[in-house]
Amino acid sequence: SYSEHDPAPFRVVLDEDRDDDADQIDPEQIRRAERVRAYLLDCQPWCDGGISQGDAAAKQGFSSSWATDRKQEWESGEWNHLDGVPEPSKVETA
């Protein structure tokens, strides 16, 4: 039987106690986002002012097929969070 004076075992879980992998920052993801941002700012697919996609990709150490994939991701809105990179819906793509 339960006595109202016996302590009940429980534990308060605070946000800082949680072991959540989503909160972990992956350095590789940060480097990738920085490369994609630099590529997009170099080639500026939203206007005619940038360098070629191939040249912009080469500056980041990648091929033109990598450039095509990143441009498609930008067009689908995947890179909207990058500083200085406009949302594709707000510009006319070149």
pLDDT tens by residue, 43-53: 999 998 899 99
pTM for this one? Answer: 0.69
In angstroms, the Cα distances linking 66 to 4, 6, 12, 14, 58 are 66, 64, 47, 42, 10
Domain ranges (residues) in the chain = 26-90
pLDDT digits (tens, 9 = 90+) for 2-26: 566 666 565 666 665 555 555 678 8
Which of 75, 47, 70 lies closest to 60, judged by CA?
Answer: 70
